[in-house]
Chains A and B, each alone.
Chain A
Amino acid sequence: MNDMTTLTKPRVETSLKDWETDQEVRWCPGCGDYAILKAVQRTLPQLGADPKNTVFVSGIGCSSRFPYYVESYGFHTIHGRAPAVATGVKLANPELDVWIVTGDGDGLSIGGNHTMHILRRNLDCQILLFNNEIYGLTKGQYSPTSREGTKSPSTPFGSVDHPARPCAFALGSGARFIARAYDVSKQLPDVLKAAYEHKGAAFVEIFQNCIVYNKDVFADFTEKKNADVGQLWVENGKPLLFDKGAKGIALDREALTLKVVDVVDGDWQAADVIVHDVTNRAVAHMLVEMPFGLFPMALGVLYDAPKASFEEAVVEQNAQLAKGKTPDLQKLVSQGQTWTVTKDGPAL
């Protein structure tokens, strides 16, 4: 999206192997995290990313073990605080590529406040929120994204509270880049690339299958047999079509909502199907709010409208204010209301 990023950063040639650490991966066999890890390790060489300038920052939870498995700099922090740590990293050294790996509990429950503020400030980074709608590492309690009625050790009779919608939360917080994919989707690398190339905070929700505590909770759209009707992959400048082009998304002008329309003989114009414009914030709001079931799951880059990033603004203001001033400690400590004591006494 933003050419500046790719132009100013020198490309470094690496291969997938260069991004693998010698640490044994400790996720459950069959966990969706494996696929995401591979997708990231496959994408980084394509981006020309430099391992020495790459920092993965995570919080706590299954997803947050991620940094241990990527051969770059990595910081496994404390529960929910990865965005805050990442903000310090990026402000201290804006040259670094900062990736945040978090989950639905880490990023939306205990760390919801930090997620909101990093998006509002628009720190240049990639935020990968692995959403499995469950607390995995603490053995299966329901999470803030769990659907109503989720039975778990802490909600044996079903959860009664309403789930948060990560992308709607992010957009509401002021995010300038919203994308969505799932762990094994073949488009995930493309989504990651777009997130990397976006200058500013790029929020990516990745549906992730927790095979132990919340198995197949996304099967309604991720399973091959449900993919056609269940997935709407958006692409900038292209009509919002799904079900092999037989259906599309149009604007219900009366209700000011979206609606599913039939597309006859490929004539989507006639069906008034919306052409995806990644910079259209209003449509992005509607896409992330589409109730699944009545609508397909909108996937891909849903919104991408860059704006000045936080660390750029900080660096610029700091530089401007420091311009023409030479740091002089002696002068600094001598400021304020001063007087001189001589043998004749004090004087201004």
Chain B
Amino acid sequence: MASAASTSTIPVSSEEAAPEAVVVRFAGDSGDGMQLTGGQFTLSTALAGNDLATFPDFPAEIRAPQGTLFGVSAFQINFGSSEITTAGDAPDILIAMNPAALKTNVVDLKPGGLIIADTGEFNDRNLAKAKYESNPLEDGSLARWQVLAFDISALTLESVKPFGLGNKEALRSKNMWTLGLALWMFDRSRQPIIDWLKAKFAKAPEIADANIAALNAGHAYGETAELAAPLKQLHVAPAPAPEGLYRTVTGAEAISLGLVAGAQLANLPMFFGGYPITPASAILHHLSRLKEYGVTTFQAEDEIAAIASTIGASYAGSLGVTSSSGPGIALKGEAMGLAIMTELPLVIVNSQRGGPSTGLPTKTEQSDLYQAVYGRNGDAPMPVIAARSPADAFDCAIEACRIAIEYMTPVMLLTDGYIANAAEPWKVPDMSGYAPFPVKFLEAVPEGGLKPYSRNEKLARPWIKPGTPDLMHRIGGIEKEVNTGHINYAPANHQAMTELRRDKVLGIAKGLRQEVSLGEESGKLVVVGWGSTYGPIHQAVRRARRKGLDVSHVHIRHIWPLPENLGELLKAYEMILVPEMNTGQLKTVLRDQYLVDARPLNKISGQPFRIAEIEAAIEGMLA
């Protein structure tokens, strides 16, 4: 979270009476409503004044067979009384709704952590599906942890009895019962959840009532039942936060809002061409509801049509935006080249996921950096920006729009599955603080005649909308003649145009200064990151510095072109460590650009870095 500015340590064991931070993971079958439970728990956490970060982790299958290991859906939240920037390394509390959820998640639980399990689901059939030979709740295999097991299913059925629901329907309220218990554990108000249930099920009040009854029953269970010692109320003090209006925001929401804001600041209608793909679809969904902001959304027949239509719309005077994930971005490659050649503004959002090919659709990775910077035929330079968190994605989206328009170029905005889905508290920005960058179309024949490929001081060509009198001209993907834009294959012209396209994009770096996120502007070690590794790097560097280690953190937003002072800055440190969720892509770019000995730290498991993993690498290098 960007807003809370306090400095203190993160990890606190669950044994403490007033922990500074707690990590809770809800895990269940993909039909158990874990994401919903997590989302509502997040709201209550935010309202309690804690800083927080979340990590939804769900399978690619929509309704995987019930009870299976691959059908487990989990939601992790880290919340505390000081600044939180990651979803937490290891949970303090695991709520396991079935044996499969226990099996796939318990390995992450901190030693001595608490397991809350629904015994109603630990029957022979589900144990077999989870490949347990004996019941772990009874065979002593969970001895490293504290276990609290009771029949949540039966308790839920009991609580919703008055509403006359069928067994299957009634059991759907299990997640609300569990949420009720969790709210009690952390002394949270139920009212916001009750209000939300009433609104959500306004057309089926009996369902709303049943869920509210389950929620209340779970809460009451914690309050009144004589439970074993592990279950006790924990008070996590609020994190200090500046006064103002807050909301939770996911990366997908923040990007959508940022794009709308960018188009509005440019005084342009927005055209969004998209094709459904995980985890990028949420942006299409959000934008398709914002017609009053001059947004036209178009679900195209494929990824190529999505970007091609967007190029057409930009040509006709809208701000064209398209969005996808790795495989779809690959399909868009040729069209990006067209936008580069025709020098039209375009924003391409890439919510990265594990690859190659279909890869890991619902898991996160940062492995499209090469694709973003280099992944087109020909010398095809394109600016690339990477968001570091859900809230940061808002400003990044505005920045992408600004660069696209001011430099007449496609821009790629990189985010990833983690940022897209994760939520964090966001201090609602004051929009009057954003300087507009209104577009000036060319509307009359300039002195010296019409030259569609003439250039301004930024080397940008004029934007001319069809419909403008006297400025008819033709553009296309064939090499353009300098100034006139006519077809021209001459050797000297191609060299000149290639250099112009390169210099235009490199020119964006002018005035871009790379700041140090944490630490000094020189020293022994700098940890350089980009994108969603911000949280774990930030915390790891902070911890290492508290131990007295000479380490700083630099986090790069402008991946291409890189900020003009970056080379100089990196050379001021003795060693450079680059943690990435790929096999070392930024590392390679930094080595290439600055001839520095950037060392990789790679994680390619589809899971975000843990703070401890980066901390260990820092200590290793400084040992």
Contacts and interface: CB of A to CB of B under 8 A. Distances in A.
Interface string B293-311: 1101010111011101111
A76 B311 contact: no
Interface residues of A, number: 62
Contacts of A21: 474
A332 B309 contact: no
Contact of A88 (B238, B249, B309, B477): B309
A6 B86 CA distance: 61
A304 interface: no
Interface string A52-68: 11010100100000011
Nearest to B344: A75
B545 interface: no
B266 to A, nearest CB: 12
A138 interface: no
A117 interface: yes
Contact of B466 (A71, A73, A81, A334): A73
A342 interface: yes
A338 B264 CA distance: 23
B308 A71 contact: no
A341 B313 contact: no
B48 interface: yes
B472 A91 contact: no
A91 B271 contact: yes
B246 interface: yes
Contacts, number: 216
Given A72-B472, A337-B247, A341-B243, A329 B316 contact: no
User: Which of B46, B253, B292, B335 has its CB near the most chain A CB atoms (within 10 A)?
Assistant: B292
Given A23-B486, A92-B317, A327-B264, A55 B292 contact: no
A318 B287 CA distance: 12
| A interface secondary structure, majority | mixed
Contact of A84 (B48, B312, B428): B312
Given A88-B273, A318-B296, A71 B320 contact: no
B383 to A, nearest CB: 21
Interface in A37-92: 51-53, 55, 57, 60, 67-68, 71-78, 81, 83-92
Contacts of B296: 91-92, 314, 318
B298 A87 contact: yes
Interface string A189-218: 000000000000000000000000000000
A90 B271 CA distance: 11
User: Which of A76, A90, A96 has its CB near the most chain B CB atoms (within 10 A)?
Assistant: A76
B166 interface: no
Nearest to B248: A337
B615 interface: no
B517 interface: no
B476 A338 contact: no
Contacts of A345: 49, 238
Interface in A333-348: 333-343, 345-348
A247 to B, nearest CB: 42
Nearest to B429: A333
6 contacts: A52-B466, A68-B474, A75-B475, A84-B309, A89-B316, A346-B246
Interface of B: 43, 46-49, 192, 238, 241-249, 253, 257, 260-261, 264, 269, 271, 273, 290-294, 296, 298, 300-302, 304-306, 308-318, 320, 334-335, 337-338, 342, 394, 428-432, 465-478, 486-487
Given A84-B308, A88-B311, A335-B247, 5 more contacts: A23-B487, A93-B466, A95-B467, A326-B292, A346-B49
Interface of A: 21, 23, 51-53, 55, 57, 60, 67-68, 71-78, 81, 83-93, 95-96, 113-114, 116-117, 314, 317-318, 321-322, 325-327, 329-330, 332-343, 345-348
